[in-house]
């Protein structure tokens, strides 16, 4: 009995500390972030140091956070929704979870194709999906476009991750925007026919598979390769050194681009502070930080990038309005299901 | 409050705890915009097939890895057997997705093992055969290696609680030790083994991290693909409901097959166990058999993690670790205690009133464990947000006071989700123990004028000490490893070890994730060892010298 009482006491003692939610502070802004803590917190800390505004953060999958935001409704404490792809921002907009921001800073700094026409979301960094190839075995002159990857000469030579991954979904959605559903499905079938193995692992795994010779080409986001080039692990650095980046479709529409972006929530309780943070994210300081720390491309043209990014050269980016990617996302998943892209 | 009053109270409690599961079920009545038709046309059958394959494989492997070692360390003595007695539980501290990452890092095409093979024999990829780690077989192995301890623990508990008389009778009737094991001990331990197996299979169905990483399209992987890829939360919830129906059928089938058999012992004579000393090749065989799961499920991955952690220690922010450890531990501790108390209460109520209402209530509750954590989290979010928003609207209308969100986004929601998800672990464990206390004990207590509460306190709890402790610690370790519900439901600026590990691993920085992964394992080891030691000590007639 004593033990039972003791344990009950322990529960209540612990609970007392547990269940107090953070009390409202003077100036704060609340962020629901689809980007992991270690990739955003340092930047938010700089913002706090510069402005004195506290930033409260929850990180999780953007879909889960959108669901939470939707269910919490008008009482949600969230001010900003931050995601690492445009599709989720579009979905949040469709659900009526975001509101327009009217800011000269944002409109003048961010190219039009990387922000919502109604000002409900803004891109803050660019992520390019490219082809990497085995430097020893592939002559880059043989490479040209995403469309060309279905050529039988690449039979059994392409590595790419699962179609459950949002970057593949966005890439396929972009393809649908350019060529329509039917042609894209043909393309997906051709790509699957050229797979070296069942899709598995992440983008780093695809690069490693090229390095050891399981495939000659892989479709990956560039910052993963940069991460491997900078890794503490010697083996990863060595694998990264065996591959090179090829920018597809340079003669026509340009390489496929996605963004990480931010939207102001419809019921943001700290609107002023939230807009301040939004504008900070496209400042010189923040844009350079994205390029240096996360190896993503700044959304603002002309911001200097890291040596690794410079090493890959200038590239032409697809100018497709990113709104299109969200429109076609669900269709792209269905299409890949039909094509047998796991 | 009479007997019926208490029963009613327990049923209301069960209903409250079932809200998330029922919320998911209720989605069945919503329309899903043709997503179902698409699934039926394309992948549904492959989801079902893959899930079945995984369950069969894991089910078989955990029985092989769990039951016989439990018997060996309980009934025989060989060098290392005392050490193995608790070491066999250690893999429980290892989250499934972490062991999957670790082995993939080692054994994948680009990993050091295959690299060594290529360098040593001067081969290129494709010149040699090597098992594919990212495959259904690989997933079965990974899940089995960390889940077999459930079967091991529960069957060992059962073997320890078996009256030696039964075994002695079988031996005097001419059975060999092998026969005593297969014909008497295992059939008698069946409820416990099945309880363990049920936990394993439910955990297998709910697993997302491992199968997603290996690219295996199980039912759960399908749920998330539907939800995230097609933006159809409704269809995803409907898929989850199908998953639960599946579990329900399994549970009912098991209970039906057990029929009216009873498993409590008719004798209470427990002498200390006559442990058989194994010699020569039998000794070596037993040692190897019991060592293998510990080696593969714990030692090798831990060494690899430790190596990675050492390799990347310069990158890891250790100053934040104490807060992460503290957060993880207090959540696990709170949830474990609450789950234990509720589990005991509900199981005991079912023993007193084994009628249809209690049976139904416990069955619905039991489903929580098979539902992926993310789905449970949404099942918690919906009613909590509804409650908060309704209260807020009412308070505004009546008194002009905005109460905002009182429960959503607090740790109450997080702990509630843990209880919904892990209460079945506590209930199964307590029930397996309680089932072996014969009803005549209750009758004896009652004839001596004890009330139900006193019977529980003075007869059952002392007899069940081992089961109760096991139940609490299993929940503790499960919460320590839990990721998705914590991730979605947590308050601002609140992190745990599991979250830190996952976020790094999710960026494909496995080596940097190793330090926090190792901390989860270390934090889990201590309770795991306590579980194991306390089970040995819990045996009636336990003799310190044996």
Asked if A60 has any chain B CB less than 8 Å from its own CB, the reply is yes
The mean pLDDT value for A253-265 works out to 94
pLDDT at residue number A21:
44
Please tell me the distance from the alpha carbon of residue A82 to that of residue A257, in angstroms, as a whole number: 17
Please tell me the distance from the alpha carbon of residue B219 to that of residue A113, in angstroms, as a whole number: 38
Locate A16 and state its tokens: 């007392």
Tally Cβ neighbours within 10 Å of residue A285.
Answer: 12
Query: Looking at the predicted structure, is the pLDDT value of residue B145 above 50?
Result: yes
Q: Tell the residue number behind the tokens 């919320």, with chain if given.
A: B23
Query: Which of B139, B334, B454 is the best substitution to test chain A (most A C-beta atoms within 10 A)?
Result: B334
> Residue A337: closest CA among chain B residues belongs to which residue?
B42
Nearest by CB: A200 against B214, B312, B410: B214
Give me the phi and psi of A282, to 5 degrees please.
-105, 10
Half-sphere exposure of B254 (CA within 13 A, CB side): 16
Q: Tell the residue number behind the tokens 């499960």, with chain if given.
A: B478
pLDDT at residue number B164:
64
> pLDDT (tens digit, 9 = 90+) per residue, A285-326?
999 998 888 889 999 988 888 888 889 988 999 988 888 888
pLDDT at residue number B545:
40
DSSP three-state, residue A316: coil
pLDDT at residue number B165:
64
* Range in B163-172, B249-258, B525-534 the model is least confident about: B163-172
The mean pLDDT value for B297-303 works out to 95
CA distance A129 to chain B (A): 16
CB distance B204 to B178 below 8 Å: no
Asked if A205 has any chain B CB less than 8 Å from its own CB, the reply is yes
**pLDDT higher for B246 or A131?**
A131
Query: Looking at the predicted structure, is the pLDDT value of residue B505 above 50?
Result: yes
Which of B 14-43 lie inside 8 A of A, CB atoms? 38, 42-43
Asked if A237 has any chain B CB less than 8 Å from its own CB, the reply is no
pLDDT at residue number B508:
76
Residues whose CB is less than 8 angstroms from the CB of residue A17 and which lie 6 or more positions away in sequence, other chains included: B330
Query: Looking at the predicted structure, is the pLDDT value of residue A196 above 70?
Result: yes
CATH topology classification for A26-126+257-311: D-Maltodextrin-Binding Protein; domain 2 (3.40.190)
Hey, are the CB atoms on B215 and A199 less than 8 Å from each other?
Answer: yes
DSSP A158-181: EE---TTSHHHHHHHHHHHHHH-H
Mean pLDDT for all residues in chain B: 84
Query: Looking at the predicted structure, is the pLDDT value of residue A280 above 50?
Result: yes
Locate B181 and state its tokens: 């094991």
> pLDDT (tens digit, 9 = 90+) per residue, B217-235?
888 888 887 877 777 777 8
CA dihedral over B60, B61, B64, B65, signed as positive or negative: negative
CB distance B101 to B518 below 8 Å: no
Query: Which of A19, A92, A97, A197 is the best substitution to test chain B (most B C-beta atoms within 10 A)?
Result: A19
β A122-134/A217-221 pair status: antiparallel
pLDDT at residue number A22:
44
> pLDDT (tens digit, 9 = 90+) per residue, B160-175?
777 666 666 766 776 6
CA distance B75 to chain A (A): 32
Residues in chain A: 342
> Residue A32: closest CA among chain B residues belongs to which residue?
B492
Query: Looking at the predicted structure, is the pLDDT value of residue B269 above 60?
Result: no
- CB contacts of A77 in chain B (<8 Å) are 404-405, 409, 492
The mean pLDDT value for B402-406 works out to 86
Tally Cβ neighbours within 10 Å of residue B100.
Answer: 28
**pLDDT higher for B24 or B410?**
B410
ipTM for the whole complex = 0.85
Asked if B312 has any chain A CB less than 8 Å from its own CB, the reply is yes
**pLDDT higher for B31 or B349?**
B349
Boundaries of every domain in chain A: 26-126+257-311, 129-256+317-339
Hey, are the CB atoms on B104 and A213 less than 8 Å from each other?
Answer: no
Hey, are the CB atoms on B509 and A227 less than 8 Å from each other?
Answer: yes
Boundaries of every domain in chain B: 35-264+287-538
Query: Looking at the predicted structure, is the pLDDT value of residue B253 above 80?
Result: no
Hey, are the CB atoms on B314 and A232 less than 8 Å from each other?
Answer: yes
> Residue B118: closest CA among chain A residues belongs to which residue?
A212
CATH topology classification for B35-264+287-538: MetI-like fold (1.10.3720)
CB distance B403 to B391 below 8 Å: yes
Locate A102 and state its tokens: 């009217």
CATH topology classification for A129-256+317-339: D-Maltodextrin-Binding Protein; domain 2 (3.40.190)
Please tell me the distance from the alpha carbon of residue A124 to that of residue B40, in angstroms, as a whole number: 39
- CB contacts of B377 in chain A (<8 Å) are 64
Tell me which H or E stretch contains A142.
none
Please tell me the distance from the alpha carbon of residue B179 to that of residue B192, in angstroms, as a whole number: 19
Mean pLDDT for all residues in chain A: 89
CA distance A314 to chain B (A): 26
Please choose, from the candidates B52, B72, B249, the residue with its C-alpha nearest in 3D space to the C-alpha of residue B159. Answer: B72
CA distance B262 to chain A (A): 30
Nearest by CB: A14 against B330, B490, B499: B330
Please tell me the distance from the alpha carbon of residue B273 to that of residue B295, in angstroms, as a whole number: 27
Three-class SS string for B236-293?
HHHHHHHHHHHHHHHHHHHHHHHCCCCCCCCCCCCCCCCCEECCHHHHHHHHHHHHHH
Asked if B454 has any chain A CB less than 8 Å from its own CB, the reply is no
Hey, are the CB atoms on A22 and B225 less than 8 Å from each other?
Answer: no
Nearest by CB: A71 against B43, B229, B385: B385
pLDDT at residue number A19:
45
Query: Looking at the predicted structure, is the pLDDT value of residue B100 above 80?
Result: yes
Tally Cβ neighbours within 10 Å of residue B172.
Answer: 8
Residues in chain B: 546
**Matching CATH topology for A26-126+257-311 and A129-256+317-339?**
yes
CA distance B233 to chain A (A): 9
Hey, are the CB atoms on B507 and A36 less than 8 Å from each other?
Answer: yes
Asked if B129 has any chain A CB less than 8 Å from its own CB, the reply is no
Asked if A293 has any chain B CB less than 8 Å from its own CB, the reply is no
* Range in A53-62, A126-135, B536-545 the model is least confident about: B536-545
Nearest by CB: A57 against B404, B492, B507: B492
- CB contacts of A169 in chain B (<8 Å) are 229
Hey, are the CB atoms on A200 and B311 less than 8 Å from each other?
Answer: no
Please tell me the distance from the alpha carbon of residue A56 to that of residue A78, in angstroms, as a whole number: 9
Hey, are the CB atoms on B487 and A64 less than 8 Å from each other?
Answer: yes
Tally Cβ neighbours within 10 Å of residue A108.
Answer: 9
CB distance B371 to B240 below 8 Å: yes
Question: Kindly report the CA angle at A311 between A306 and A312, in degrees rounded to 5?
Answer: 110
Locate A324 and state its tokens: 């299109």
β A217-221/A158-159 pair status: parallel
pLDDT at residue number B3:
61
User: How many Å from the N-terminal Cα to the C-terminal Cα in chain B?
Assistant: 47
CB distance A218 to A206 below 8 Å: yes
Beta bridge partner(s), residue A220: A130
Please choose, from the candidates B483, B403, B329, the residue with its C-alpha nearest in 3D space to the C-alpha of residue A18. Answer: B329
> Residue A59: closest CA among chain B residues belongs to which residue?
B487
Which of B 499-528 lie inside 8 A of A, CB atoms? 499-500, 503-504, 506-509, 511
pLDDT at residue number B137:
94
Helix axes B136-161, B510-538, angle to 10 degrees: 20
CB distance A151 to A331 below 8 Å: no
**pLDDT higher for B532 or B85?**
B85
Q: Is the pTM of this model over 0.95?
A: no
Hey, are the CB atoms on B392 and A75 less than 8 Å from each other?
Answer: yes
DSSP three-state, residue A122: strand
Asked if B495 has any chain A CB less than 8 Å from its own CB, the reply is yes
Please tell me the distance from the alpha carbon of residue B491 to that of residue B384, in angstroms, as a whole number: 14
Hey, are the CB atoms on B333 and A63 less than 8 Å from each other?
Answer: no
- CB contacts of A10 in chain B (<8 Å) are 333, 337
Nearest by CB: B334 against A15, A37, A64: A15
Beta bridge partner(s), residue B441: none
Please tell me the distance from the alpha carbon of residue B339 to that of residue B434, in angstroms, as a whole number: 16
Nearest by CB: A21 against B215, B409, B489: B409
- CB contacts of A224 in chain B (<8 Å) are 508
* Range in A87-91, A105-109, A223-227, B212-216 the model is least confident about: B212-216
Which of B 104-123 lie inside 8 A of A, CB atoms? 104, 108-110, 112, 114-115, 118
Counting one residue from A and one from B, how many pairs have CB atoms under 8 Å apart?
182
- pLDDT classification of A11: cutoffs 50, 70, 90: low
Query: Looking at the predicted structure, is the pLDDT value of residue B275 above 50?
Result: yes
> Residue A205: closest CA among chain B residues belongs to which residue?
B110
Asked if B230 has any chain A CB less than 8 Å from its own CB, the reply is yes
- pLDDT classification of A20: cutoffs 50, 70, 90: very low
CB distance B35 to B232 below 8 Å: yes
- CB contacts of A38 in chain B (<8 Å) are 503-504, 507
pLDDT at residue number B355:
82
Query: Looking at the predicted structure, is the pLDDT value of residue B195 above 70?
Result: yes
Nearest by CB: B334 against A18, A57, A75: A18
DSSP three-state, residue A81: strand
The mean pLDDT value for A178-189 works out to 95
Asked if A137 has any chain B CB less than 8 Å from its own CB, the reply is no
Please tell me the distance from the alpha carbon of residue B532 to that of residue B107, in angstroms, as a whole number: 31
Hey, are the CB atoms on A10 and B114 less than 8 Å from each other?
Answer: no
pLDDT at residue number B272:
60
Query: Looking at the predicted structure, is the pLDDT value of residue B257 above 80?
Result: no
Please tell me the distance from the alpha carbon of residue B343 to that of residue B325, in angstroms, as a whole number: 26
- pLDDT classification of B342: cutoffs 50, 70, 90: very high
- CB contacts of A63 in chain B (<8 Å) are 227-228, 231
pLDDT at residue number A23:
44
Please choose, from the candidates A119, A116, A117, A81, the residue with its C-alpha nearest in 3D space to the C-alpha of residue A99. Answer: A119
């Amino acid at each position: 009995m004593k033990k039972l009482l003791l344990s009950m006491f322990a529960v209540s003692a612990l609970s007392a500390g547990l269940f107090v939610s953070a009390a409202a502070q003077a100036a704060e802004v609340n962020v629901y972030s689809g980007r992991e803590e270690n990739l955003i917190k340092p930047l938010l800390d700089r913002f706090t140091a510069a402005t004195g505004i506290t930033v409260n953060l929850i990180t999780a999958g953007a879909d889960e956070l959108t669901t939470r935001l939707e269910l919490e409704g008008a009482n949600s404490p969230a001010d900003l929704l931050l995601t690492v792809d445009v599709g989720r921002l579009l979905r949040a907009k469709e659900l009526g979870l975001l509101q327009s921001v009217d800011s000269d800073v944002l409109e003048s700094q961010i190219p039009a194709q990387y922000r919502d026409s109604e000002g409900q979301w803004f891109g803050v960094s660019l992520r390019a999906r490219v082809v990497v190839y085995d430097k020893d075995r592939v002559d880059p002159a043989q490479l040209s476009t995403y469309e060309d990857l279905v050529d039988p000469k690449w039979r059994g030579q392409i590595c790419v991750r699962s179609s459950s991954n949002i970057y593949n979904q966005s890439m396929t959605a972009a393809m649908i925007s350019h060529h329509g559903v039917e042609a894209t499905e043909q393309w997906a079938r051709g790509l699957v026919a050229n797979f070296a193995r069942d899709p598995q692992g992440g983008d780093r795994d695809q690069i490693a598979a090229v390095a050891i010779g399981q495939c000659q080409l892989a479709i990956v986001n560039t910052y993963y390769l940069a991460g491997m080039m900078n890794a503490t692990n010697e083996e990863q650095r060595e694998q990264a050194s065996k591959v090179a980046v090829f920018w597809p479709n340079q003669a026509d529409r340009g390489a496929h681009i996605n963004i990480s972006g931010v939207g102001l929530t419809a019921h943001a309780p700290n609107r002023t502070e939230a807009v301040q943070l939004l504008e900070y994210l496209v400042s010189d300081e923040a844009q350079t930080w994205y390029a240096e720390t996360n190896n993503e491309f700044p959304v603002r043209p002309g911001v200097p990038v890291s040596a690794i990014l410079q090493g890959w050269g200038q590239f032409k980016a697809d100018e497709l309005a990113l709104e299109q990617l969200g429109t076609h996302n669900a269709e792209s998943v269905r299409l890949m299901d039909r094509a047998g892209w796991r | 409050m009479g007997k019926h009053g208490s029963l009613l109270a327990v049923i209301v409690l069960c209903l409250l705890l079932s809200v998330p599961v029922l919320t998911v079920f209720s989605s069945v009545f919503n329309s899903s915009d043709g997503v179902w038709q698409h699934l039926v046309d394309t992948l549904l059958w492959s989801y079902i097939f893959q899930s079945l394959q995984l369950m069969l494989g894991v089910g078989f492997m955990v029985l092989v890895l769990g039951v016989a070692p439990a018997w060996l360390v309980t009934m025989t003595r060989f060098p290392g057997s005392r050490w193995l007695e608790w070491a066999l539980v250690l893999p429980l501290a290892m989250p499934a997705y972490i062991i999957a990452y670790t082995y993939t890092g080692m054994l994948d095409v680009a990993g050091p093992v295959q690299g060594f093979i290529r360098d040593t024999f001067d081969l290129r990829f494709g010149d040699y055969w090597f098992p594919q780690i990212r495959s259904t077989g690989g997933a079965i192995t990974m899940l089995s290696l960390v889940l077999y301890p459930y079967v091991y623990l529960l069957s060992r508990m059962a073997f320890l609680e078996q009256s030696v008389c039964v075994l002695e009778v079988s031996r005097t009737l001419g059975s060999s030790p092998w026969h005593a094991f297969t014909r008497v001990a295992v059939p008698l331990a069946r409820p416990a083994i099945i309880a363990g197996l049920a936990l394993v299979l439910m955990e297998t169905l709910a697993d997302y991290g491992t199968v997603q990483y290996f690219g295996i399209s199980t039912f759960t992987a399908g749920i998330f693909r539907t939800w995230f890829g097609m933006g159809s939360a409704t269809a995803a919830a409907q898929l989850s409901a199908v998953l639960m129906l599946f579990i329900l059928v399994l549970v009912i089938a098991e209970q039906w097959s057990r029929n009216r058999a009873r498993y409590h012992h008719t004798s209470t004579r427990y002498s200390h166990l006559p442990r058989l000393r194994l010699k020569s090749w039998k000794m070596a065989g037993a040692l190897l058999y019991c060592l293998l799961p510990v080696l593969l499920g714990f030692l090798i991955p831990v060494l690899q993690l430790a190596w990675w952690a050492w390799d990347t220690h310069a990158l890891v922010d250790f100053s934040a670790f104490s807060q992460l450890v503290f957060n993880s531990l207090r959540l696990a501790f709170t949830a474990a205690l609450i789950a234990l108390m509720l589990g005991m209460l509900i199981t005991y109520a079912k023993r007193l009133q084994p009628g249809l209402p209690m049976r139904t209530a416990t069955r619905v509750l039991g489903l929580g464990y098979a539902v992926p954590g993310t789905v449970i989290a949404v099942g918690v979010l919906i009613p909590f947000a509804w409650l908060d928003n309704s209260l807020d609207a009412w308070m505004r209308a009546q008194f002009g006071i905005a109460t905002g969100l009182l429960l959503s986004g607090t740790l109450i929601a997080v702990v509630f989700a843990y209880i919904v998800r892990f209460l079945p672990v506590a209930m199964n464990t307590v029930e397996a123990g309680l089932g072996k206390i014969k009803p005549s004990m209750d009758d004896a207590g009652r004839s001596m004028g004890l009330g139900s509460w006193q019977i529980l306190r003075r007869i059952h709890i002392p007899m069940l000490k081992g089961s109760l402790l096991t139940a609490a610690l299993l929940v503790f370790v499960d919460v320590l490893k839990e990721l998705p519900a914590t991730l979605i439901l947590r308050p601002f600026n609140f992190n745990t070890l599991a979250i830190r590990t996952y976020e790094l691993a999710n960026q494909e920085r496995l080596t940097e994730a190793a330090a926090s992964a190792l901390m989860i394992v270390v934090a889990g080891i201590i309770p795991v060892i306590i579980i194991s030691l306390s089970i040995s000590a819990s045996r009636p007639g336990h003799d310190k010298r044996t």
